[in-house]
């Protein structure tokens, strides 16, 4: 046997960060008459929902079962839909929303609950839920809410309802003329696409007896309300989402994909950096290692054209890179304070370029 001057034993112990789903749905809805409230139930097949929430009348579905079925009808369909049944005679919406708060879902809707004057407070509760859970519900709980406008309202009446608590960057409002649950259908559409994909002109499977007029669409467009349309330029007379607005464009998050991408990147970065907690030191090599971890998350997103560019800045690392002899007393104290508290500040700037939503063409004949 030859002499081995260096003996290496190889061991694979790769770190696999947590992954976050982007299209899991929770739908809260009423069951049959005299049916009791239920805890969340997971479905991957709409037929199971009809069995779980029977209507008691052959050939009919409860609000909840129908909503789950129409969500799965979309193409591409969602992977998983959670159902939460409320008592039809005395629905406890607050309790159901509390139950949904603990689920790892990204989209929440209320079955067959159109936004009108009577339901404005209830849709407001959905809006509050998605904001509160996204901000305080723990990692991976970030979510959006979807609500449909009452199809019996005029465009002006519908536009007036996007106000107060409902007007929220985490809400997606959809106008329609269908007797079906357009909110559940829209949930299914959103769930079928990765976060960075714009919702503009994505197909939706729903029965629409009539289309909106140009004047109606202009009203919805000005009120940050999405609509269902059938562009003549797309053959087949299929139905599509007419826009991808959030209900509140005032916070520089006008489009839903922006909100979803931020949630996704936020989770990805934290899931990668968790391996640094308790292991990396507050030192020049340790902080450079943290920068490398962030780059490992964001560089593939640049390559995949999800984001355009990114910058990672750790102010403390700037000080540690300097010649120690040139540090001022304040800078030395800042380093000592960070090492004593074991707390480090980091800023990540991401450049995101959304999909084209409008093209202005000047056609000149000569």
255 and 323 part of one domain: no
Residues of the chain with pLDDT > 90, as a percent, come to 90
What's the pLDDT score for residue 283? 97
167 and 238 share a domain? Answer: yes
Strands 41-43 and 80-86: antiparallel
Judgement on whether residues 96 and 40 belong to the same structural domain of the protein: yes
- pTM for the model: 0.93
State pLDDT tens for residues 282-340.
999 999 999 999 999 999 999 999 999 999 999 999 999 999 999 999 999 999 999 99
The answer, yes or no, to whether residue 15 has pLDDT greater than 70, is: no
Choose one of 226, 261, 296: the last residue of a domain.
261
Domain count, the chain: 2
Q: Is 237 inside any structural domain?
A: yes
CB 127 within 8 A of CB 168: yes
Alpha-carbon span 147 to 152, nearest angstrom: 15
For 119-165, the pLDDT digits (tens) are 999 999 999 999 999 999 999 999 999 999 999 999 999 999 999 99
Looking at the fold, whether 203 and 301 belong to one and the same domain comes out as: no
- What domain range includes position 115? 24-261
Per-residue pLDDT tens over the stretch 332-348: 999 999 999 999 999 99
Q: Quick one: CA torsion of 71, 97, 166, 222, rounded to 10 degrees?
A: -20
The answer to whether residues 49 and 95 belong to one domain is yes
Quick: pLDDT tens for 82-120.
Answer: 999 999 999 999 999 999 999 999 999 999 999 999 999
Looking at the predicted structure, is the pLDDT value of residue 8 above 90? no
pLDDT at 348: 97
């Amino acid at each position: 046997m030859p002499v081995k001057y260096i003996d290496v034993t190889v061991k694979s112990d790769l770190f696999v960060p947590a992954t976050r789903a982007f299209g899991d749905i929770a739908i809260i809805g009423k069951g049959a008459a005299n049916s009791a409230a239920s805890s969340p139930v997971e479905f991957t097949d709409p037929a199971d929902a009809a069995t779980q929430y029977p209507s008691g009348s052959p050939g009919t579905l409860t609000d909840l079962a129908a909503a789950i079925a129409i969500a799965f009808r979309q193409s591409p369909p969602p992977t998983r839909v959670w159902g939460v049944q409320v008592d039809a005679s005395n629905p406890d919406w607050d309790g159901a929303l509390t139950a949904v708060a603990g689920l790892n879902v990204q989209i929440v809707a209320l079955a067959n609950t159109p936004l009108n004057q009577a339901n404005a407070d209830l849709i407001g509760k959905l809006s509050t839920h998605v904001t509160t859970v996204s901000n305080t519900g723990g990692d991976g709980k970030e979510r959006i809410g979807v609500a449909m406008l009452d199809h019996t309202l005029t465009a002006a009446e519908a536009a007036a309802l996007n106000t107060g608590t409902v007007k929220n960057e985490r809400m997606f409002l959809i106008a329609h003329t269908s007797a079906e649950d357009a909110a559940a259908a829209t949930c299914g559409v959103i769930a079928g696409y990765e976060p960075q994909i714009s919702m503009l002109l994505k197909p939706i499977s729903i029965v629409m007896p009539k289309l909106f007029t140009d004047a109606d669409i202009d009203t919805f467009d000005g009120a940050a309300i999405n609509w269902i349309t059938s562009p003549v330029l797309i053959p087949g007379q299929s139905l599509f989402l007419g826009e991808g607005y959030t209900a509140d464009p005032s916070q520089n998050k006008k489009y839903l994909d922006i909100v979803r991408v931020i949630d996704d990147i936020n989770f990805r970065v934290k899931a990668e950096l968790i391996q640094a907690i308790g292991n990396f030191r507050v030192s020049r090599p340790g902080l450079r290692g943290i920068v490398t971890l962030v780059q490992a998350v964001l560089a593939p997103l640049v390559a995949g054209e999800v984001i355009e560019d990114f910058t990672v800045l750790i102010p403390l690392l700037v000080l540690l890179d300097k010649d120690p002899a040139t540090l001022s007393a304040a800078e030395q104290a800042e380093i000592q304070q960070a090492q004593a508290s074991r707390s480090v500040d980091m800023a990540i700037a991401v450049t995101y370029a959304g999909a084209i939503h409008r093209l202005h063409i000047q056609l000149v004949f000569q």
